[in-house]
Amino acid sequence: MEITETLIGHSSNEGSYMSRHSEGTTLNENMKVTTEQGLYKCQICCKQFTTRGYLKVHVGLHTGETPYQCEICFKQFSGAGTLKRHLRVHTGETPYQCEICLKQFNDKGNLKRHVRSHTGETPYQCHICLKQFSNKSNLIIHSRLHSGEKPYKPKLVTPQKVKQFVGLLLVKNDCFYIYD
């Protein structure tokens, strides 16, 4: 009940939240341009949106404005919809269900990625070797093979760790005795 009231509060106060942030900021300045198709265009990255509201949330990502806050964990968000999706983490609500295996998800995007595991769809392709992937994160990890990027620091391997690992390899007959 408290979460519902929070959402209603944010929805009814949206104007006051946004007007407070638009004073003295570039939020509204970045939303003036519309295209011939009637789309709203972000002046920062040129991405286009069907409504002014979607553009307003998007521009908040550029400006860092986060007028919506979760009253449970205090995490902040640029849009009411993003806050609403986040609240599902706390409520355990899973409104999206896979029609194939009936697994449930709290986010539509997570369901879409999951369905690819059934369909075999691979919409992401490496532009170097043309290998295809079902999700973007796997493509990013794969791309590091070509670029040589190593974003993670290797763990320091001590002689004790090597001895422990080798000892585990010498486990005999599932008796869990580690040879020295």
pLDDT at 151: 84
pLDDT at 28: 53
φ, ψ dihedrals at 132, nearest 5°? -110, 150
The CA distance from 116 to 30, in Å, is: 36
For residues 69 and 6, state if they share a domain: yes
- Is residue 50 situated within a structural domain? yes
| Final residue before a domain boundary, out of 49, 65, 91 | 91
The CA distance from 57 to 79, in Å, is: 5
| Final residue before a domain boundary, out of 57, 91, 125 | 91
pLDDT at 35: 63
For residues 32 and 110, state if they share a domain: no
Lowest mean pLDDT among 38-42, 73-77, 157-161: 157-161
pLDDT at 94: 96
- State the CATH number of the domain containing residue 130: 3.30.160.60
Mean of all residue pLDDT scores within the chain: 78
Residue 74 belongs to what domain range?
A: 2-91
Residue 9 pLDDT exceeds 80: no
The residues near 76 (Cβ < 8 Å, ≥ 6 apart) are 66, 67, 68, 69, 70
Strands 124-125 and 132-133: antiparallel
pLDDT at 157: 73
At 81-99, the pLDDT tens digits run 889 999 999 999 999 999 9
Residue 78 in 3-state DSSP? coil
At 12-64, the pLDDT tens digits run 444 443 343 444 344 455 555 566 677 899 999 999 989 988 888 888 889 98
C-alpha 24, offset from chain centre: 30
User: Is 66:25 a contact under the CB 8 Å cutoff?
Assistant: no
| Domains in the chain, number | 2
For residues 138 and 60, state if they share a domain: no
